[in-house]
Amino acid sequence: MSPSNHTDYTDRGYIIPIGGAEEKLHNPEILDRFVEVCGGTSARIAIIPTASELEDTGRNYEKLFRKLGIRHAQVLQMLTREDCHQSEYVDYIEKSDGVFMTGGNQLRLSTTLGGTPVAQTIRRRNAAGMHVAGTSAGAAFMPEHMIAGGDEGSTPSPAMVTMAPGLGLTNKFIIDQHFRQRDRLGRLLTALAYNPFAVGIGLDEDTAAFIRPGDNLEVVGSGGITVIDPTNLSYSSMDRARRDEPVSLIDVKLHILIAGGRFEIASRKAIAE
């Protein structure tokens, strides 16, 4: 799926991928910022826990958002594709200021939501100004090209990553999560070698990219974001490498950004703060 069409791209809502394990109790900076972006305590937030197999994931986030002052936070418990056709869920998203997708397994999100009225509504509403956040699997699911799984390690190789269609909120980025904690540099590089058009975002835990309309990214949280820019890629051995062989990539640019850091997609410029 590609991003939903909209006549004025500057009206698009924020896209907020979170690297997982975000702080929820003592200083929930990322979630506080999400609430602020959505309009404060009067905002309406739809919580989608589909990626998780734990029954209480959605309710736990609902309680958390209420603790942050949100009066209108509701879990949309969509376990099947049939659920994603229910008008009550579509209507709630239509009236929401923000959508929050929990962690778990991103293939549960893509195979359950993909192509349904709920997914179409999220894409259309984000294009019209609704903000969408996702943590861990919810973050991976956001772009058009989704990392569905892969191996740990720093050196790319053809078999290191499995790709699948994502939600399609943006085609400018490929997103990976738990990045430093799970040694995922190699699989993000592999994904970019397959698709050098996109910029890679590797999100550490408790770290988020607040992507504004116009695709300008700001880092929020306690960790770092690895931004991989393949714009000037001059050589790749991906086309001739065998399944488990290492891949050579030359002239790939890498940035490490921490809280307050920014990346501008139009100019491909990284700014420390």
In a domain, 264, yes or no: no
- Tell me what the pLDDT averaged over the chain comes to: 96
In a domain, 77, yes or no: yes
Share of the chain above pLDDT 90, in %: 95
b or e along 18-57 (b: 16 or more beta carbons within 10 Å of the residue's beta carbon)?
bbbbbeeeeebbbbebbbebbeeeebbbbbbbbbbeeeeb
- The per-residue pLDDT for 9 is 60
Is residue 4 pLDDT above 80, yes or no?
A: no
> Of residues 9 and 46, which shows the higher confidence score?
46
In a domain, 272, yes or no: no
- The per-residue pLDDT for 33 is 98
What is the arithmetic mean of pLDDT over 143-147? 98
In a domain, 273, yes or no: no
Q: How many domains does the chain have?
A: 1
In a domain, 57, yes or no: yes
- Any idea which residues carry the catalytic annotation? 136, 178, 205
In a domain, 167, yes or no: yes
pLDDT tens figures, 102-129: 999 999 999 999 999 999 999 999 999 9
CATH of the domain at 130: 3.40.50.880
